[in-house]
């Protein structure tokens, strides 16, 4: 199944414009080693890639717990928590009331003992503040050059460590940040007009080797488990197993929350692909006519407007460019 750029932009932080509730001066930071065990590296789903929940509002009580606690009673902060919080935040109105925020807080504290609930409360508001600041960075105009991209990455890295501390920020984001740096450096090499193809290839291979030796691109245990699970999913579907078996396997491997998120994303991906194929069939009919190039393009643009909403147009064009017939 092809990835959808539209899904990658589907849910931005709608409810991010909130004020961080200050913790008392005598309270320990929710990201300190004494209260948090960081249990994951980069999130599988980054900001803005989350599907809307399809089974009622996640803010309603009694859903899948957002936070979990470790064997010693410590609050666990990992990629699943970020996924869950993004889903919850996307359910809030643009200008949430105190009641909205209170419901969010209660939802996050469900199933936690008092000390962990307090830590979860503090982390929730630290996360809200982080997402708000991150969205402000993303909203700034920028050029598509590597210098700008590197500056924005450095600003985001500093922002994460300011909000979460180095230990938690490294556990949650370091692997993704290393891959972003690799992408920036690789783009810089590819764009260098003074390098021959051979020199570019040599430098790229050296860059990959360096990063691999540093372990930045090595797959962690969770990523390996994810790959194994998806191979098992492919086998199940290959023999015609019902989707209930696929969902059961994912729940056993990832937990109910992430299994449901993946299922929701696949549903939306399938719907996006269905819509694209309908557009593509009509586009091919237009391209096969004897129209002038200008008339063909005008008709294709009109076709895009019939199939996609205004906010989807940029992603639809990018998807067509990437996956359409060459």
Rounded CA-CA distance 119/35 in Å is: 7
One DSSP character per residue, 9-68 reads TS---TT---PPPPPPTTSPPTTSTTTEEE--SS-SS-TT-PPPPSSS-TTSTTS--S-E
Rounded CA-CA distance 48/10 in Å is: 6
57-99: per-residue pLDDT in tens?
556 555 677 888 888 788 888 877 888 888 888 888 878 888 9
CB distance 110 to 64 below 8 Å: no
Exposure string of 31-57, with b = 16+ CB inside 10 Å and e = fewer, is: beeebbbbbbbbbbbebbbbbebeeee
pTM: 0.47
Q: Which of 61, 88, 191, 82 is nearest to 126 (CA)?
A: 82
Two tokens at 149? Answer: 């991209």
DSSP code of residue 26: T
Per-residue pLDDT of the chain (326 residues), as tens digits, is 443 333 332 322 222 222 222 333 333 444 443 333 333 322 333 333 333 333 345 565 556 778 888 887 888 888 778 888 888 888 888 788 889 899 999 988 888 888 888 999 999 999 999 988 888 887 777 666 667 888 888 999 999 999 888 888 888 888 788 888 888 888 888 888 888 888 888 888 888 777 766 654 555 555 666 677 788 888 888 889 899 998 888 888 777 777 787 787 788 788 888 999 999 999 999 999 888 989 999 999 999 999 988 878 878 888 888 777 76
Greatest CA separation for the chain: 76
DSSP code of residue 191: H
The vertex-258 CA angle with 262 and 224, nearest 5°, equals: 85
Rounded CA-CA distance 67/77 in Å is: 7
Q: Which of 321, 259, 325, 267 is nearest to 5 (CA)?
A: 321
SS3 call for 37: strand
Q: Which of 132, 137, 139 is nearest to 14 (CA)?
A: 132
pLDDT at 277: 93
DSSP code of residue 15: T
Q: Give the residue carrying structure tokens 């490294």.
A: 170
């Amino acid at each position: 199944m092809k990835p959808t750029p539209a899904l990658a932009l589907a849910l931005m932080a709608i409810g991010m414009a909130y004020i961080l509730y200050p913790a008392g001066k005598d309270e320990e930071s929710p990201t300190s080693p004494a209260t948090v065990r960081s249990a994951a590296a980069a999130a599988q789903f980054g900001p803005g890639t989350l599907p809307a929940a399809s089974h009622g509002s996640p803010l309603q009580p009694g859903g899948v717990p957002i936070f979990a606690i470790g064997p010693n009673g410590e609050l666990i902060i990992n990629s699943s928590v970020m996924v869950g919080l993004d889903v919850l935040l996307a359910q809030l109105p643009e200008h949430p009331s105190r009641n909205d925020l209170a419901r969010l807080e209660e939802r996050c504290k469900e199933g936690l003992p008092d000390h962990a609930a307090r830590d979860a409360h503090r982390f929730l508001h630290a996360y809200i503040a982080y997402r708000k600041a991150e969205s402000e960075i993303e909203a700034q105009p920028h050029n598509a050059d590597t210098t700008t991209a590197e500056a924005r990455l450095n600003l985001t890295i500093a922002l994460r460590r300011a909000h979460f501390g180095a230990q938690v920020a490294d556990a949650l984001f370091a692997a993704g940040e290393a891959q972003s740096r690799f992408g920036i450096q690789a783009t810089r090499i590819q764009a260098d007009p003074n390098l021959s193809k051979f020199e570019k290839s040599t430098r790229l291979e050296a860059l990959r080797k360096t990063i691999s030796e540093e372990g930045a691109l090595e797959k962690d245990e969770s990523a390996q488990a994810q790959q194994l699970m998806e191979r098992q999913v492919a086998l199940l579907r290959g023999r015609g197993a019902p989707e209930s078996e696929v969902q059961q396997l994912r729940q056993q491997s990832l937990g109910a929350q992430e299994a449901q998120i993946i299922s929701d994303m696949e549903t939306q991906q399938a719907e996006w692909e269905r819509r694209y194929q309908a557009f593509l069939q009509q586009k091919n009919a237009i391209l096969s006519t004897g129209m002038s190039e200008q008339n063909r393009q005008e008709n294709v643009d009109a076709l895009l407007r019939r199939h996609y909403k205004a906010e989807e147009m940029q992603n639809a064009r990018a998807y067509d460019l990437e996956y359409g017939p060459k």
